[in-house]
Structure 1
Amino acid sequence: MTYVNKGSVTAIGVIFPVLVVISIAIRAWGWRKYSPALEVDDFLIIPAAFLTIAAGVAMVIGAQMDIIGGHAVGQITATQQHRLGKLEYAFWIGHVLDIGFIKLALLFLFRRIFKGRAFRTLFDYTNWTLIGLVILWTLVFFLFEILACGATPWVSWSSLYSLRHACVNTFGLQTGCAVFSWVLDVAILVEPLFMIARLQMTLRKKLQVCLVFFCSIFAVVAGLLRMIIWIQIEVQGTTGPHTQALATVLPTTDQEGIVSIIVFWTYVEIGVGFQVACLPTYARHLDKLPLSGLRTRLDSLLSILSPSKRSRDSSKTSYPPQKSRSDDEIELYQVPVADGV
């Protein structure tokens, strides 16, 4: 028994789709109330949402049908191999598209936030280069996943032997996919931090914005863990008696347990990455809420409930004006960026 079991797989298969629905609801509310038109990142986040929800549903169904989340005692049966292989085949194809859409949504969001008035800037070159690399990564590995076994994809779930001998090196393919994905994650993490440093805002506001983008570290860490697992499997091979996945050592014949750990961390990376792609828009929309009025009402209620506070407040003739939270949003999204960036 490991930390990846039927309960944990079912939990993340439920939690992340629920968070996706909440995120899309917040964005839809913002689109209707504040945004004059949908941007490129808004269109990209929609297919990412559907793919993330679909993967979560597959995780839950797979756990309930004992396809993933458990352990194959002894040699895996032909029926178990077919069910596990089919789930893997669909999951790996979908995960490339999902991660690709999430990365592109983040990069186009950065263009919307940090694009200056000048063209052909360092930010333009860097951002468009990353967009091109993400598109290339998505297309290449999407085709590789589909055509790994040529015109006979069912060979991949027939048996481990047929997967290793009738298809390309799928373990090497997945390792390369995970490594390039993680490198792109690090680049996407670093890009906005350099731009934030040049914004004409107070140090306190810069730190607040950096904190939002630092949340993407969780997605980078999840991608790193997934990459480490694939590297371990590629180095160890499938001929030894045991296989190590992170700190967990399982019998090589326990394909269900090994695959469950890989799928678990892959879906964590997808779920966290989707939330990171929505974090800046949360800040933009929630900053429009009339929180200053709510604060005034709360102060009035507290003054009524507290006699000592009421006596102190009675000696005051005026209140200092409250700063609207929307001013911070304007400072973040409408502050000019140096044209030479």
Structure 2
Amino acid sequence: MARILDVQSCLLQRVRLRDDGVHDRVIAAALRNETWRRLARGVYVEASRFGSWTPDEQHLARALAVNISATSVRPVFSHMTAAILLGLPGYGMHRERVHVTLMGSRHTHSSRDIVRHQAAIEPAVVVEIGGLLCTSLSRTLRDVARLASAEQSVVTLDAGVRRAVALAPRRDAAEAESQWQAVLREELAAMPGERGVAWARRRLAFADSRSESVAESLSRLQLRRLGYEVELQVGVPAPSGSMYRVDFALVGKRTLGEVDGDAKYTDDRLRGRRTPEEVVLAEKRREDWIRGATGCGLVRWGFSESRSARLLGARLRAFSVPPP
């Protein structure tokens, strides 16, 4: 909710600009010299601010602009746009058009900026977030599983199932995840003949709440494409008596794998009071202990490798861990 309000506060509306005495010539000049960016009819944002946002935030801004510019029926945002409104992570959102779903039999036309879907949506699966209407979590995950790309699906479904498990009134995460996926499968069974249902069943079966980041979800997808069998969040007893967690174990390879982002070393919020050098030293001690305690090799890779089966495969081959 706070993220929606923060982004919305940065949007410039033509109607309000006129009320403040800003002439259309000024708006046209700002668009022409690219100091402002047009998001939808009569809705703009400073180009520098738009450029500072993440792709997910940029998509959110475009959805807000579509909502502001709607002239009759309030749009119901769906698919990947609903996922962003619900606070789930996206992937490749700088290229993604805003998705809305229209109810009824009217003819729908998509445009360069908006994908308009036509479907029956029960009121029970529509929620309001920050003044915008969007499909519920379960409906959104079904739609993403059916129609989004493989990368978008794994990122969003992992996060969505993780949230559903966290909200479930059960202590057993595995049981909660199994129950949630069973509900989604039942809902898909009620959609015979709909586009992408077979895809959705496979993608929902692959979703795993134990993937804790976009990079982990993408890495899991690439590892499957390469033919590796993996275990997730493998525990290794630490010298302090606690437990280290390793992202992946490559089954049958005596190799552990971890995907690292730069934020671990550069983001003050993640480092706490430690310097980057202290974080690197702590990681080295942890890695040495894991290797010694397990007798396994440990391969690290970054976000760029997680996005590409080719690059991740090359990384693993360089460490003498070729695909099966």
Q: TM-score, normalised by structure 1?
A: 0.25
Name whichever structure is richer in strand by fraction. Answer: 2
Q: Which has the larger radius of gyration?
A: 1
Q: TM-score, normalised by structure 2?
A: 0.25
Name whichever structure is richer in helix by fraction. Answer: 1
Higher relative contact order at CA 8 Å, sep ≥6: structure 1 or structure 2? 1
